[in-house]
Amino acid sequence: MSTDTHLIRGARILGGEPADVRIADGTVAEIGTGLTPDGAEVIEADGQILLPGLVDLHTHLREPGREDSETVLTGTRAAAAGGYTAVHAMANTFPVADTAGVVEQVWRLGKESGYCDVQPVGAVTIGLEGKQLAELGAMHDSAASVRVFSDDGKCVDDAVIMRRALEYVKAFDGVVAQHAQEPRLTEGAQMNEGVVSAELGLGGWPAVAEEAIIARDVLLAAHVDSRLHICHLSTAGSVEIVRWAKSKGWNVTAEVTPHHLLLTDELVRSYDPVYKVNPPLRTEADVMALREALADGTIDCVATDHAPHPHEDKDCEWGAAAMGMLGLETALSVVQHTMVDTGLLDWAGVADRMSFRPAAIGRLAGHGRPVSVGEPANLTLVDPSYRGAVDSARFASRSRNTPYQGRELPGRVTHTFLRGRATVMDGKLV
């Protein structure tokens, strides 16, 4: 990877007026107009948008344990290709990231990859089983400095365990990221419960199973005065609850996935498991409510829930298929398509929802910083005028389970810089 000095010419910082940006010694060294190369490698941005490096609060890197679907190296390459400079690696690996040893292993693998920073997420409970708290303090005190804890994939459904976790992590400014899914209401659930599930005869995953947990958890967070983060919020009702909690001044944040901003349960009529995901694709009304909530800030950020699966786990009947879809390499395009091109969010808003706020929620140092002199050069250059069909054959991820294969989406990450080193140049991984 190049550690040379770079001069980006004519970039629109956060969508503003074109400017030149010099990157040297891992930082943003100079911003101005008419800057001369002085030996720097020149990148003609020509009106492309310069954003702070994207930060993902919700990534499944699969290592250790499921290296057939993704590794830290392939996952971070995918992240860089998608414009990310930091990702939070979810804890549902094999073994589960519920000890200082496992989170340090993932953290070290991230360091070695060099493509983006990997911040491990620690499990809330041992083995994600919801019964006994994992050693949250030990994970925080480890080299990985874990601050985000989640049993993602499973809901911390026991109200007492959830309360204790919320209280306990206050000691080190941690946050519990809840996968909100009432387990009894979702036994055998295969898709959103509604008109389509009734016709298709697939087990329903009702909105209320998400909303009931979110309602309980915002009340718990208020009661113990702690920080709660809601993973992949997917329903209009969930938006209402979070909006209400925020109006009370409670410390609640929420994320939405790109796919929940675009896709609906109508796609399940194909019975193609590429659309099988948890929480499930919802209705058009939910999609519109989520976009609006992301625009007005009720939803704080976009998180990919990048969930790689090997081909055979999707090349089968719906009921037998794994849940989850890729996200890192298409997230920014989906956000441009659903939020920017619709006028709901400008590029400064994109920087806020995909970098500033997720970094703040994760208390991630050096990321989600303004593009200004002296800041770490974690940067993403995106060409918003690009139009092209998604082709998973070109993905850096080890897996191919994208729901956008062949779909035309706008925008393309042309360059990504991690502390001044280019990880992506001219759309190609370095």
Partner 1 sequence: MKRHLISAADLTRDDAVLILDTAEELARVADRTIRKLPTLRGRTVVNLFFEDSTRTRISFEAAAKRLSADVINFSAKGSSVSKGESLKDTALTLEAMGADAVVIRHHDSGAPHRLATSGWIGGSVVNAGDGTHEHPTQALLDAFTLRRRLVGGADGGVGRDLAGRRVTIVGDILHSRVARSGVHLLTTLGAEVTLVAPPTLVPIGAGRWPCEVSYDLDAVLPKSDAVMMLRVQRERMQAAFFPTEREYARRYGLDGRRMARMPDHAVVMHPGPMNRGMEITAEVADSDRCTAVEQVANGVSIRMAVLYLLLSGAESAVGTPAPTPTRSEETE
Residue 63 vs 265, nearer CB to partner 1? 265
> Residue 383 contacts by C-beta under 8 Å, 6 or more apart in sequence?
48, 49, 411, 412, 414
Q: What is the DSSP letter of 169?
A: G
Which of residues 70, 98, 151, 152 is near Zn ion by CB under 5 A? 152
Residue 214 vs 231, nearer CB to Zn ion? 231
316-375 residues in contact with partner 1 (CB under 8 A) are 316-320
157 near Zn ion, judged by CB under 5 A: no
The yes-or-no answer on residue 305 being catalytic is: yes
Q: Where are the alpha helices (DSSP H) in 60-153?
A: 72-81, 100-113, 136-141
What is the per-residue binding string for partner 1 in 296-325, x denoting contact by CB under 8 A? Answer: ----------------x--xxxxxx-----
Residue 314 vs 412, nearer CB to partner 1? 314
253-292 residues in contact with partner 1 (CB under 8 A) are 270-272
Total residues at interface with partner 1 (CB under 8 A): 24
List of E strands, 14-130: 18-24, 27-32, 41-44, 49-52, 54-59, 84-89, 117-120
Total residues at interface with Zn ion (CB under 5 A): 3
Query: Of Zn ion, partner 1, none, which one sits near residue 284, judging by CB under 5 to 8 A according to partner kind?
Result: none
Q: Which helix (H) or strand (E) holds 163?
A: helix 159-168
Closest contact distance (angstroms) between CB of 187 and partner 1 is 9
With beta carbons less than 8 A apart as the criterion, state whether 93 and 128 touch: no
At residue 365, the 3 state secondary structure works out as coil
Closest contact distance (angstroms) between CB of 324 and Zn ion is 9
The active-site residue, picked from 305, 341, 346, 352, is 305
Q: Where are the alpha helices (DSSP H) in 336-398?
A: 347-351, 357-361
How many other β-carbons are positioned within 10 Å of the β-carbon of residue 141?
A: 13
Closest contact distance (angstroms) between CB of 276 and partner 1 is 10
Query: Of Zn ion, partner 1, none, which one sits near residue 270, judging by CB under 5 to 8 A according to partner kind?
Result: partner 1
260 near Zn ion, judged by CB under 5 A: no
189-248 residues in contact with partner 1 (CB under 8 A) are 190, 193-204, 206
Closest contact distance (angstroms) between CB of 65 and partner 1 is 20
Which of residues 9, 12, 163, 179 is near Zn ion by CB under 5 A? 179
With beta carbons less than 8 A apart as the criterion, state whether 376 and 366 touch: yes
2 near partner 1, judged by CB under 8 A: no
DSSP-assigned beta bridge partners for residue 32: 20
Give CA–CA dist 62/73, Å, rounded.
Answer: 11
**Could you tell me the strand order of the sheet in which 301-302 lies?**
148-149, 175-178, 228-230, 252-256, 301-302
81-120 residues in contact with partner 1 (CB under 8 A) are none
Q: At 13, give phi and psi (nearest 5°).
A: -70, 120
Closest contact distance (angstroms) between CB of 155 and Zn ion is 9
Residue 56 vs 152, nearer CB to Zn ion? 152
Residue 167 backbone zone (phi > 0: left; psi -120 to 50: alpha; other: beta): alpha
With beta carbons less than 8 A apart as the criterion, state whether 185 and 213 touch: no
Closest contact distance (angstroms) between CB of 62 and partner 1 is 21
Q: Which residue, among 117, 135, 118, has the nearest Cα to 126 in the 3D structure? A: 135
What is the binding site for Zn ion (CB under 5 A)?
152, 179, 231
What is the binding site for partner 1 (CB under 8 A)?
190, 193-204, 206, 270-272, 312, 315-320
| Residues tagged active-site | 305
